[in-house]
A and B are shown apart, each in its own frame.
Chain A
């Protein structure tokens, strides 16, 4: 389920959009799957229904979903395979990681070393 960070300066429609895109690209939401209705999602998150409508409109413009008249909004077929979407999400996750690590007072070298160490560890575990 989605959640809104009240303390974030990122607008609610944008927070919601990023979370839905992540669900699509990571495969948590299947292609052709129906998104919750605007009313349902607005009530569950207690956000303005116009905000959800804005998120859905943007997702449609970006090609992630398509709305079918009278039926609802569905995940577009083939969208998960688009490499550009994965890269975009990966870049966002990386930015988030870097800013959090920097928040702990780590410099670029330390961040790269730490990350490389973890990755190596994971590869050896595999």
Chain B
């Protein structure tokens, strides 16, 4: 279990997190989402130990004296990582810092990366795979992936997710990903956290969230329904209802529809922007 307690963090005058609390269970896969500028990436950087909070603390649950950074694989959103090195040099350098064996870069080879080139010469997708190969080689207990995966093409994406799933199956690490788009990765998540203006707006298991959210198509709906967002879709009115408990009033079953995670999160996002 990882505990973030009463964390506050600001970049200069700009306060990003205030009295922030979050617990992560060992072995779970958590997706963090929400509008830009709410502190999603900051949370990852704090967990990774590359930022230090101004107040509050993070307990990774390791024995005293353990440096959490040694047990963490962090894929940041910037691709500045070891730019001027070759993948081989970067693997050695990284292993030197953490006192581990250098990555065999197998994942990068599978992605067709020429290991003698500088990292800045590689495509964005290839850079992500080199980085992933290096950070996963340290047998992490915590894997943090910031929102870089959307720039990886589908072929490399498949290689990358196969590798991640293999590591998840073998070592059962805790995984935290920051995502804006859930297409094709929503079934990796156990739990989703929506970070809004006032902190955590939603923190729920994916199964429960999907069970409790419905798109209701109707001109008017009974006021008992808690509506997250109402939108016009091709001439009909769609009301996103959360939490949906049971049918109220006279609405045909086919007008009460289940939703995927991207649709649900888009509705939360719209609610956050005050669109209605």
Contacts and interface: CB of A to CB of B under 8 A. Distances in A.
A47 interface: yes
A11 to B, nearest CB: 4
B190 interface: yes
B261 interface: yes
B187 A39 contact: no
A6 interface: yes
Interface stretch (B120-128, B165-173, B232-240): B165-173
Interface residues on B, range: 20 to 34
Contact of B253 (A9, A11, A38, A99): A99
A48 B253 contact: no
Given A9-B211, A11-B207, A39 B253 contact: no
Interface residues of A, number: 22
Contacts of A51: 187
B101 interface: no
Interface string B124-168: 000000000000000000000000000000000000011001101
Contacts of A47: 187-188
A120 interface: no
B260 A103 contact: no
Given A46-B187, A47-B188, A7 B253 contact: no
A34 B60 CA distance: 39
Interface in A41-75: 42-43, 45-51
A43 to B, nearest CB: 5
Main secondary structure of the interface of A (DSSP, over half): helix
A48 B162 contact: no
A101 B187 CA distance: 29
B166 A12 contact: no
A40 to B, nearest CB: 10
B253 A46 contact: no
Contacts of A38: 169
A95 to B, nearest CB: 13
B207 A48 contact: no
B259 interface: yes
B27 interface: yes
Contacts of B172: 50
Interface of B: 27, 29, 161-162, 165-166, 168-170, 172, 184-190, 207, 210-211, 213, 252-254, 257-261, 263
Given A7-B260, A39-B170, 17 more contacts: A6-B187, A6-B260, A7-B258, A9-B211, A9-B213, A12-B187, A38-B169, A43-B161, A46-B161, A46-B185, A47-B188, A48-B187, A48-B188, A49-B169, A50-B172, A103-B254, A105-B252
Interface of A: 4, 6-9, 11-12, 38-39, 42-43, 45-51, 99, 102-103, 105
